[in-house]
Chains A and B, each alone.
Chain A
Amino acid sequence: MKLDRDQVKPAEARQGKAVPEARLLRKQAGDWLKQRRSEAGLSQVDLAARLGLKYYTFISQVENGFSRVPTETMEAWATQLGLDPSAFAKHLLVYYEPELHRLLFGTKP
């Protein structure tokens, strides 16, 4: 298969498209998670080990803003970062589901 050089650039770079809002918000969530992890004194490898993951790559996937913290692991994630699970989930909702957060808690993020 022959590809030209332009095809090995990410799609947005090729098309000059703007990054969607949902993706920007996930990135902000990732930055917030990274900050909390640093404050807890954990590396990505440490956190992955504590969450029972074989590789630490998923932590990076989430912190880089490409995936969300899965709902079923939110409690464990919060506990390992030394945070209250309820407050942790509520804060992540600001980024992951801003409209739902506004409806539930009545404030704009």
Chain B
Amino acid sequence: MNVIAFERTRIAGAWSEAELIIIVGTLNDGRLWDTGVTENGDAQLYLLGPDPEQACELCVSRLGGRYILEDGAGRLLFEHRSLPLVAMHARSQLRITRWSLVARIVVVWCTIRDVIHDRVEPLIGESEELLVHLAPQFAAFV
């Protein structure tokens, strides 16, 4: 028996509407995005950061039948034949970015609280102590 291997159809050129729906629908966070093509005509989709820079945070490219996920600095994050899988990785990558921002805000908040506790509170305590000592004298004077 002869088994004939069927080649997967190579998709080329710009993104199809179905592909865009998969990516944009998976992310679904109102993020800015744009599309482009490489010199060889391979499709790219850029997920952009906020104004005013609108720099690329993640890029999904289609090379032959493979989808490539890279960050804005060209680091390869994931690659697979399944676009929904790549889109899910892109979504989790964006969540990691968001959580790292939350972590940074928490660290800054803790630092500010620590500074207030170490530096400002002793000053307030000192002036309160001074007031307690001086208040009776002022009262007697008046």
Residues of A within 8 A of B (CB): 1, 3, 5, 7-8, 10-12, 19-23, 26, 43-45, 53-64, 66-68, 70
CB distance from B39 to the nearest CB of A (A): 5
State whether the Cβ of B72 lies closer than 8 Å to any Cβ in chain A: yes
19 contacts between A and B (CB under 8 A): A8-B20, A10-B34, A11-B48, A12-B32, A20-B51, A22-B52, A26-B55, A54-B76, A55-B61, A55-B63, A56-B40, A57-B44, A58-B59, A60-B39, A60-B42, A60-B61, A61-B72, A61-B74, A70-B74
Q: In the complex, how many angstroms separate the beta carbon of A36 from the nearest chain B beta carbon? A: 14
Answer whether A55 and B24 are a contact pair too, CB < 8 Å, given A10-B33, A43-B39, A66-B56: no
Q: A3-B24, A64-B44, A68-B55 are in contact. Are A58 and B35 (CB under 8 A)?
A: no
Please give, as numbers and ranges, the residues of chain A lying within 8 Å of B38 by CB-CB distance.
Answer: 44, 56-57, 59-60
Complex alpha-carbon distance, A10 and B33, angstroms? 6
With a cutoff of 8 Å between Cβ atoms, the chain B residues found around residue A61 in the complex are 44, 46, 56, 59, 70, 72, 74
Asked if B53 is at the interface (CB within 8 A of a chain A CB), the reply is: yes
Count of chain B residues with a beta carbon within 8 Å of a chain A beta carbon: 36
Q: How many A-B Cβ pairs are below 8 Å? A: 98
Of chain A, the residue at the smallest CB distance from B75 is: A58
B24 near A66 with CB under 8 A, answer no
Q: Are B44 and A60 in contact (CB under 8 A)?
A: yes
B73/A67 in contact, CB under 8 A: yes
A53 to B26, CA, bound (A): 28
Contact between chains at A67 and B44 (CB < 8 Å): no
Residues in B whose Cβ lies below 8 Å from that of A70: 73-74
Closest B residue to A21 using CB positions = B52
In the A-B complex, the 9 residue pairs with the smallest Cβ-Cβ separation, listed nearest first, are A58-B74, A60-B38, A66-B56, A57-B61, A1-B25, A11-B32, A8-B20, A64-B36, A66-B46
